[in-house]
């Protein structure tokens, strides 16, 4: 079977509402006021552009890039696990607006359609581009793929280090948090669950 014999189908993955426009001028002025509140001298040459750079960085962190999630018919009736591990991401914790970062492992048991493998990583990166909490992020990754693929099962494992815990507060560097979502066949099959978690940890 060649690619030309496949019928591609794309699902546009985007925010449910139109993304609000970003006013960089307002953001830059707000950063300047914020830094001055901490007695930071923005007249220094090396700090003069800091509010502008900070505003641009925040726009990058908080602007998900819509993409086309391409799927193909599962003509060969492939039924076993499809898994992509080690998908790196970084995002911002919505409680302290500090980064948390790590990697995700995403797997599915195909139904009628297969997905282009790069789209699994794109889904993780898309969901990460907003203020997040890890539990919701894990669920949202599963939601996007489940809606697009209608698989027999979907599994997502996210492991991350939260700088709001590692560099402030309790100051526990190296501590990581794991969250997982298991649906469909991954809930009903002990064997599939073991295979998924073994692959995620390897």
From 109, 132, 140, 162, active-site residue: 162
What tokens were used for 175? Answer: 């501590």
Cβ contact 144:126 at 8 Å: yes
Known catalytic membership, residue 105: no
From 96, 103, 125, 195, active-site residue: 96
From 28, 93, 105, 132, active-site residue: 93
From 15, 94, 112, 135, active-site residue: 94
Known catalytic membership, residue 109: no
Query: pLDDT class for 5, splitting at 50, 70, 90?
Result: very low
Query: pLDDT class for 201, splitting at 50, 70, 90?
Result: confident
Length in residues, the chain: 202
Task: Dump pLDDT digits (tens) for 63-120.
Answer: 998 888 989 999 999 999 999 999 999 999 999 999 999 999 999 999 999 999 999 9
Query: pLDDT class for 60, splitting at 50, 70, 90?
Result: very high
At 157, give phi and psi (nearest 5°). Answer: -125, 125
CATH topology of domain 73-201: GTP Cyclohydrolase I, domain 2 (3.30.1130)
Mean pLDDT of the chain: 91
Alpha helix positions (H), the chain: 24-37, 50-61, 118-128, 134-149, 163-166, 185-188, 190-201
Instruction: For the chain, give percent helix, strand, coil, nearest 5.
Output: 40, 30, 35
Percent of the chain with pLDDT over 70: 92
Known catalytic membership, residue 103: no
From 28, 105, 134, 140, active-site residue: 134
Domain spans in the chain, listed from the N-terminal domain onward: 24-61, 73-201
Burial of 65 (0-12, 13-18, 19+ CB in 10 A): exposed
Q: Over the range 10-27, which residues count as b (16 or more CB within 10 Å of their CB) and which as e?
A: ebebeeeeeeeeeeeeeb
Task: Dump pLDDT digits (tens) for 170-188.
Answer: 888 889 999 999 999 999 9
């Amino acid at each position: 079977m060649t690619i030309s014999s496949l019928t591609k189908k794309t699902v546009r993955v985007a925010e449910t509402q139109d993304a609000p426009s970003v006013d960089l001028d307002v953001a830059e002025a707000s950063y300047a006021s914020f830094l001055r509140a901490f007695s930071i001298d923005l007249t220094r040459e090396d700090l003069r552009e800091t509010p502008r750079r900070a505003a641009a960085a925040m726009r990058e962190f908080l602007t998900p890039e819509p993409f086309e999630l391409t799927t193909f018919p599962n003509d060969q009736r492939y039924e076993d696990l499809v898994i992509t591990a080690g998908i790196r991401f970084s995002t911002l914790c919505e409680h302290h607006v500090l980064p948390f970062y790590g990697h995700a492992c995403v797997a599915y048991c195909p139904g009628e359609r297969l997905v282009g493998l790069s789209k699994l990583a794109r889904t993780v990166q898309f969901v990460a581009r907003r203020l997040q909490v890890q539990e919701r992020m894990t669920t949202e990754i599963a939601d996007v793929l489940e809606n697009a693929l209608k698989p027999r099962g979907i599994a997502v494992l996210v492991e991350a280090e939260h700088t709001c815990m590692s560099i402030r507060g309790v100051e526990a560097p190296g501590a990581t948090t794991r969250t997982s979502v298991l649906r469909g066949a991954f809930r009903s099959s002990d064997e599939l669950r073991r295979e998924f978690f073994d692959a995620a940890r390897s």
